[in-house]
Amino acid sequence: MTSGEEKLLESFRQLDSADQSTLLAFAEFLAFRSGPVPESKPVITQEVTEPEAIPRPAEESVVAAVKRLSKTYPMINKNEILAETSDLVSQHVIQRREAAAVIDDLEIVFEQHYRKIRDAGSRD
């Protein structure tokens, strides 16, 4: 990775999800504007692995659930689900929403993002 790529990645990681989407859209626009990618540059695709089957404990904290789900779905870019997971954790911590209900919703978020990645990979 070049120093420019590293700097771009570092800046990208500091953005919230909305700004990340904007940056990606702008980068895609610039790439489109400059023409097709030369054949000498390989297109990198990521193989989507199956989630690791880690059973949910009977008693689990919300934070432990996020860690378990991150291990279950290592293929998910955590920055892509940061807003959703942060919102759910806040619902538990600040609004005192029941942990089990929040964990149920976290599992749905992770599963939905996994399916999106898997489905996108099967179209390539």
Q: pLDDT at position 47, please?
A: 65
Predicted TM-score (pTM) of the model is 0.61
Report the candidate in 85, 92, 19 with the shortest Cα–Cα distance to residue 61: 92
How many Cβ atoms sit within 10 Å of the Cβ of residue 81?
Answer: 21
Report domain extents, the chain: 3-33, 62-123
- Model pLDDT, residue 68: 94
Q: What is the pLDDT along the chain (124 residues), one digit of tens a residue?
A: 898 888 888 888 998 877 776 676 666 545 544 555 444 444 444 567 899 999 999 999 999 999 999 999 999 988 888 889 989 999 998 999 999 999 999 999 999 999 998 888 766 5
Place of tokens 């939905």: 112
CB neighbours (10 Å) of residue 118? 14
3-class SS of residue 66: helix
Query: Rounded distance, CA 8 to CA 18, Å?
Result: 16
What pLDDT score does 28 carry? Answer: 59
